[in-house]
Amino acid sequence: MARALITGGSGFLGSYMAERLVRDGVEVVATYFREPAHGRANGRPGVELVHLDVNSRGDVARVIEATRPDVVYHFAGQAYVQPSWVDPPPTFATNFTGTIYLLEELRRQRPRTPLAFAGSGTEYGEPDLVPTPEDAALRPTSPYATSKAAADLACYQYHQSFEMPVFRYRIFGTTGVGKLGDVCNDFASQVAAREHDPSPHLKVGNLDKQRDIADVRDAVDAMVRVVERGTPGEAYNIGGGEARNVRTILDTLIAQSGARFTIETEAARLRRVDEPVHLADISRLRSLGWRPSIPFERTLKDILDSWRAPNGAAAPVAPPT
């Protein structure tokens, strides 16, 4: 049986990847940094949870030696833009230096093991071309995006220098049940909490931006497809290939609720730098035979229903049939 190592495997993307790989008959080792209170991968047959601090090269070496993976999906990192502005060095330490430690230990111990690196569509910043192809210049506009761009280029360098089979994802927006901090879950959690209030209101940030947001279940399918059929060393945009207006996302959730809300713009929800449009050119991904399969309205309905459940967003959603 093939064995996959998923760093950050108790997090949002990592947990969904663990579920996907287990369904494929893959043995999964999923790492966590802080003890997860709950997670989709916790307690799942076929998933072994192990501790990993990617800021410790010794820890990285220990996990690679113990697991001897056939493939590595690298999701561990500081995943939010706002905290990177408050204190940039920890973001760079985790996202860049942690990735270097992983590359080095794979080079030393398992140089032929494929590594899939979870980069970000924010690496492009404000690109000249929209939809944005993978050969666009990297112009990151936040410490978070810069840390991801640096790690992305390091992965490319290790492929060029050592012929390591590295795949570089540039992940645009992903959403789904269990995500925290993204616009879809932010809006849905507020709608679910207040739809029965006598005078319900919603707090929002910038509603005029447009974002490429894919269902996480489609996104992990795309990531697996890249490792199975993609070209090592290449970058691949992971997205839905459609720009979604944030105001329309809000309107859709309100329509699904059936309640009437007052909308209030809150300064704390506005970003220091907020590019007007993020849209991936997914031609390279489509050339591998991948297509998104889950309607976005269904994604939003799943998220809203999960926030309505007694245990909040931890409610499971079955994989699409």
Interval 255-301: pLDDT, tens: 999 999 999 998 888 777 777 889 999 999 999 999 999 999 999 99
Task: Report residue 304: phi and psi, to 5°.
Answer: -60, -45
Give this prediction's pTM.
0.92
Q: CA 5, CA 299: separation in Å to the nearest integer?
A: 27
Q: CA 215, CA 206: separation in Å to the nearest integer?
A: 22
Closest Cα partner for 13 from 241, 182, 161, 134?
A: 182
Q: What is the pLDDT of residues 117-132, one digit of tens each?
A: 999 999 999 999 999 9
Task: Report residue 18: phi and psi, to 5°.
Answer: -60, -45
The tokens for 305 are: 């229903």
Which conformational region is residue 233 in: left (phi greater than 0), alpha (psi within -120 to 50 degrees), or beta?
left
3 state SS of 114:
coil
Q: What is the pLDDT of residues 58-70, one digit of tens each?
A: 999 999 999 999 9
Mean pLDDT of 173-194: 96
pLDDT reading at 321 higher than 50: no
Mean pLDDT rounded to a whole number for the chain: 93
Q: What is the pLDDT of residues 225-254, one digit of tens each?
A: 999 999 999 999 999 999 999 999 999 999
Cα separations (Å) of 214 from 121, 128, 180?
A: 12, 22, 15
Which domains are seen in the chain, by residue range?
3-174+215-238 (3.40.50.720), 176-212+242-279+295-314 (3.90.25.10)
